[in-house]
Structure 1
Amino acid sequence: MILSLIFNDNFSSGGFYVFPNLAIAGLVYVSAYLDLYPGWLTVYILFYIYGSMTPLNPAVFGFIGTLSYAVSYILWRKIPYDNAAVEMLAAFIASSVYCLSLFLIVFYCYGMHFLYWDFFLSYGFPMSVSTALFSPAVFFLFKKAGYKIFLKKNKIIYL
């Protein structure tokens, strides 16, 4: 996730960019194995770092990241996560929540007015689908690296 934060090119065309798909899929994977508070804190820090590389307020991205984390955390507690179809569904829903909350914050707080359907069809839906398609590969790499065992044992952050 950190590499996708570092290598995300946000300022090349002057457009408005959001968090990379691979990092959202990583967020969904981490939410399956972390408790709520350590995961919330980890995701907030990562999204805040990303937000500092964009034209928007970093706290906005921290908020959106934690909201997406909460949605994927609830999904993992309600449904089993042993097959790729469920992983793709969870990644699609978390990415859709991310895009919807980003749209609402930009539209209402910052006054950038554009149609929701244009935003959804040109950015939100393609991003959510591509995140869902990338997620099995990201999950497979995390599982091969042994992050499931690491996250369950260490809980990443002790507070």
Structure 2
Amino acid sequence: MKISDVGNQPCSVARTLSVIGDTWSMMIIRNAFLGIRRFDDFHKNLGVTRHVLTDRLNTLVNEGILHKVPYTETQKRFEYRLTEKGLALYPIIMSIVHWGDTFMDKGLGAPLDYVHETCGHAFHPVMVCSECSEPLSPKQVNVKVGKGLYAYHSQTKTV
């Protein structure tokens, strides 16, 4: 299988990674959550080449994760803002942050603290069941075939 075909699989992980699975895309999304919006600011903060940054920003715009908003009329310069689809990536970013803070901090501690504005406390993200609000662990979750897999296979059958 070619890497370009990964997004066509009947797998939510593969489909998601086909859009946001490269390092630069995730770093751009992280920076967008940190309030960075302009091309030059992404470029300066990330140190990525202009060509790669342009490519990744275009992909994120085309996929509906970011949208371009003009901030000057004279030179048609744009800011890149998270869409609803982009904002929905927040739990993924926070899970990656928590994993990195736990396992990749080299004993130095977390480089950033995240504070919940409502209660004023620093927090660690916790994944909970949408139905009962109990914290989830991998040992407590069973996986069953969903209707999307059946639909995928019925569409790909050759006649």
Which has the higher relative contact order, 1 or 2, with Cα contacts under 8 A spaced 6 or more apart? 1
Higher strand share: 2
Higher helix share: 1
Asked if TM exceeds 0.5, the reply is no
TM-score computed with the length of structure 1 as normaliser: 0.29
